[in-house]
Chain A
């Protein structure tokens, strides 16, 4: 069982503590622009809620038969906090226990969390974009309105963008830092 360099232990601890910030900032964002919305509409996804012009987005979506977006519909908001809590705890234990295998596990947990979140987001997006009210005022043959997973997509008059917000970037940078230090550990201590 190989142990870690002191600098790596510090980095792991910093990453674990940085994840605390994700409780206080949005994780993901969806932005929308249209000719009559030059200022844009935004929806921010937090660990436990949604913010931004959710009501307005829902009001507009009713024309194409999408369901109203409400916080209560997403059970995820009830348990994401525990997942993040687990990651923070595991990171701190890794720094204390000082074993490479723990570092690898920590990284894997973070990557798995990210991947899981993306899959979950995709499923929700698919569901919202495809399960439309058959009596909607606007129906276009063959058209679905699934938001982009990452990047931009044109949905009728709206250009929609989906991407990480501050919290999401913290996760991405954390994973990057851990990968970097893992490579460093491998090189220094084969």
Chain B
């Protein structure tokens, strides 16, 4: 009898173990099915179908991946110094990181907006926001270099940015952190409601040069603006922003900013704002912000301090902005390809409201308002609503669209992508992500003509997806095929920095325009040496300027004497190559910055302040040729009072050195 009891107990235990194990979620290795490998395999020598331009988050950079392979091609430094190529270290690039606070060599790059014409990608520029010290940047998709950075005044943090209008008329910048603005900014933090204001900046883009300037700034109530999207098609002329903390909390926002059932989507009629400006309305207010531009012909950036900005007050100038209630702490705010539907994702909501542009217009015309918030009309929720996606998942964040009328929403809490139909609001499919997805990207997803085909998940948690590298892990992205009815997981790929938003664009729109070299004839750098005959060393007081050339496999000059302690030496290195993929690098012992990497035809400058008497070697840092290791030279530094004359040479062998060593 006892043994029977024992037997039963044993079986029960075994059963329980099996049951527990079968309840555990399936391991990630089970998730890939079918011909996934074939779909992401890009054979050697073949090219990816899409460029994926990915924000780097806290690395302050932008990275470029190929899709579907997930291979990393390049990291483009934008808001952060990059010792790899000298960005932010060379004299030419330092001005790019100037702000009203001086040189700020880091920022938090969150979102990408690719330039558009008629609602479609045109492959010209990638814009990005700096969240911390509020800035926006423009990167050329020809050179993949940061060409311009514009600081934003009256902002405490630029998050709902740089989203773009359908003809690249504007990119926007909205304050994540409202702050006191104006002359008196030394106020108690607890006076948030009285003194803290938000601003929305509309940054005008020059249609031919891409040059940015702040067209106008809208003063708004003090709330947190989160994300935004431009209208398109019928809703072109409008912009939509999500805002949270309408409670106007200034401490423990986790609790104090999550009390209301509904926050707002803010609809901005920017064409109306333009009308007011044309009538001379608006006020020019004093402001201080940096505007930094790269001059392509001198290969040099310059920084200008701007002094005023045009502001409009929508509480006085009516019909520019309206609030639409939105459950609960909305994050993503995305317009569908038709421009009719605006999808708002309440991070803490159990549904996704979808607003109708037509209904919003009707509600405004009928003055169908439920009241005002800080002097701004609030449209009735039901009057603006197309419908709600019921029980879609937990923690909806962002939505992208395909070309077939479907939406793909990321869910942070339930760690999944959910596919649903924009018109019918019916949930069609769901796939897990690994783990806790943030942004997602469908090629062309934010445009009027999505390319579809894939959705990419950029996750916030990595855990066990790759070989571990200590506590700090790579970031994790997944690629899914969305060409069929069901989403299919194809690939995991690691990403650098912490990607937030990303866009993908067909390679055919970018690849043919990619710059291979800079023409040496067009180099107007004031210190360029466009041939070895122009190489020289000049003294200007205690500054020593070395006009140096680099070509396979020597530097001219490679012997420099007559530098003295107390001098500041500028090595202006011109790469004379006119051949694709032959950069040269330059570094000198003891230089307190980084190397510089010089592209063919370009001039870059490394500043060096020698701190000891002696001979310092310098060399080419980019393995350029068979005799790269020979590409080196010496700079002699003498004592401060010495009378060694300044001289320089390459290939000159002194008489006394000609006798062979004994």
Range class of the A interface residue count? under 10
The reply to whether A53 and B579 form a contact with Cβ atoms under 8 Å apart is: yes
- Give Cα distance in the complex from A56 to B625, angstroms: 13
A174 to B630, CA, bound (A): 52
A130 within 8 A of B: no
Contact B579 A63 (CB under 8 A): no
Type the 1/0 row for A98-128, where 1 means its CB is closer than 8 Å to any CB of B: 0000000000000000000000000000000
Q: Scan A41-84; emit 1 where CB is below 8 A from any B CB, else 0.
A: 00000000000010110011001000000000000000000000
Contact between chains at B580 and A59 (CB < 8 Å): no
Given contacts A55-B578, A56-B579, 16 further A-B contacts (CB under 8 A): A39-B580, A53-B578, A53-B579, A56-B577, A56-B578, A59-B551, A59-B552, A59-B577, A59-B579, A60-B552, A63-B553, A63-B626, A63-B627, A137-B553, A137-B630, A138-B626
In the complex, are the beta carbons of A137 and B627 less than 8 A apart?
Answer: yes
Shortest beta-carbon distance from B535 to chain A in Å: 16
Q: Is the interface of A mostly helix, strand, loop or mixed?
A: helix
Type the 1/0 row for B276-313, where 1 means its CB is closer than 8 Å to any CB of A: 00000000000000000000000000000000000000
* Bound form: Cα–Cα A56–B630 in Å: 20
Q: Which residue of B lies closest to A135 (CB)?
A: B651
4 tightest A-B contacts by CB?
A56-B579, A55-B578, A137-B627, A59-B552
Chain A residues in the interface with B (C-beta under 8 A): 39, 53, 55-56, 59-60, 63, 137-138
Tell me, in angstroms, the Cα distance from A53 to B579 when the chains sit together: 8
Q: How far is the CB of A15 from chain B (nearest CB, A)?
A: 39
Give every chain A residue within 8 A of B580 (Cβ-Cβ).
39
In the complex, residue of chain A having the shortest beta-carbon distance to the beta carbon of B552: A59
Q: Which of B525-569 contact A (CB under 8 A)?
A: 551-553
Binding site for A on B (CB under 8 A): 551-553, 577-580, 626-627, 630
Chain B residues within 8 Å of A138, by CB:
626
| Chain B residues within an 8 Å CB radius of A56 | 577-579
Complex alpha-carbon distance, A137 and B580, angstroms: 23
* Measured CA separation A63–B624 after assembly (Å): 13
Shortest Cβ gap from B73 to chain A (Å):
18
Distance in angstroms from B637 CB to nearest chain A CB is 29
* B551 surroundings in chain A (CB, below 8 A): 59
Chain A residues with Cβ below 8 Å from B552 are 59-60, 63
CA–CA, A56 to B577, complex, Å?
Answer: 7
In the docked arrangement, what's the CA distance between A53 and B578, Å?
Answer: 8
CB distance from B533 to the nearest CB of A (A): 13
Distance between A166 CB and nearest chain B CB, rounded to angstroms? 25
Residues of B within 8 A of A39 (CB): 580
**Cβ-closest chain B residue relative to A60:** B552
Hey, which chain B residues are within 8 Å of A53, CB to CB? Answer: 578-579
Which residues of chain B come closer than 8 Å to A63, judged between CB atoms? 552-553, 626-627
User: Nearest-CB distance from B11 to chain A (Å)?
Assistant: 68
- Chain A nearest Cβ from B517, distance in angstroms: 10
CB distance from A32 to the nearest CB of B (A): 12
Report B532 CB to chain A, min CB distance, Å.
Answer: 11
| Chain A residue nearest to B45 in the complex (CB) | A38
Interchain residue pairs with CB less than 8 A apart (16): A39-B580, A53-B579, A55-B578, A56-B577, A56-B578, A56-B579, A59-B552, A59-B577, A59-B579, A60-B552, A63-B552, A63-B626, A63-B627, A137-B553, A137-B630, A138-B626
Q: Which residues of A contact B630 (CB under 8 A)?
A: 137
**In whole angstroms, what is the CA distance A49 to B610 when docked?**
48
Complex-state Cα separation, A39 to B553, whole angstroms:
22
Q: Shortest CB–CB separation between residue B500 and chain A, in angstroms?
A: 37
Which residue from chain B places its CB closest to the CB of A36 in the assembled complex?
B581
Q: Tell me the bound Cα distance from A171 to B105 in angstroms.
A: 63
Complexed CA–CA distance, A24 and B579 (Å): 26
Q: Which residues of B contact A60 (CB under 8 A)?
A: 552
Give chain A nearest CB distance to B265 CB in angstroms.
51
Q: How far, in angstroms, from A60 to B551 measured CA to CA in the complex?
A: 10
| Minimal Cβ-Cβ distance residue in A for B625 | A63
How far does the alpha carbon of A153 sit from the alpha carbon of B553 in the complex, in Å? 26
CA distance A56 to B582 in the complex (A): 11
In the bound complex, CA of A146 to CA of B553 (Å): 23
Across-interface contacts of B553 in A (CB, < 8 A):
63, 137
In the complex, how many angstroms separate the beta carbon of A34 from the nearest chain B beta carbon?
12
Please, how many angstroms separate the alpha-carbon atoms of A59 and B624 in the complex? 13
B577: A residues at CB distance < 8 A: 56, 59
The distance in angstroms between the C-alpha atoms of A59 and B553, with both chains bound, is: 9
Q: How far is the CB of B652 from chain A (nearest CB, A)?
A: 13
CA distance A56 to B579 in the complex (A): 6
| A148 to B577 CA separation, bound complex (whole angstroms) | 26
Q: How far is the CB of A44 from chain B (nearest CB, A)?
A: 16
Tell me how far the C-beta of B581 lies from the nearest C-beta in chain A, rounded to whole angstroms.
Answer: 9
Residue of A nearest to B600 (CB): A56
CA–CA, A55 and B578, complex, Å: 8
From B651, which residue of chain A is reached at the shortest CB distance? A135
Nearest chain B CB to A139 CB, angstrom units: 13
Least Cβ distance of B582 to chain A in Å?
A: 9
Q: Of all chain A residues, which has the CB nearest B516?
A: A39
- In the complex the two chains form, what is the Cα distance from A39 to B580 in whole Å? 10
Task: State the Cβ distance, A31 to closest chain B Cβ, in Å.
Answer: 16
CB distance from B45 to the nearest CB of A (A): 9
Chain B residues with Cβ below 8 Å from A55 are: 578
Most chain A C-beta atoms within 10 Å of own C-beta, residue among B551, B577, B579, B626: B579
A53, A56, A60, A138: residue with the most chain B Cβ atoms closer than 10 Å: A56
Q: Chain B: which residue is nearest A138 at the CB level?
A: B626
Closest CB in chain A relative to B46 CB, distance in Å: 14
Q: How far is the CB of B285 from chain A (nearest CB, A)?
A: 54
Min CB gap B194→A, angstroms: 66
Give A173 Cβ to nearest chain B Cβ, in Å. Answer: 34
- CB neighbours (8 Å) of B627 from chain A are 63, 137
In this complex, the member of A53, A55, A59, A138 whose beta carbon has the largest number of chain B beta carbons within 10 angstroms is: A59
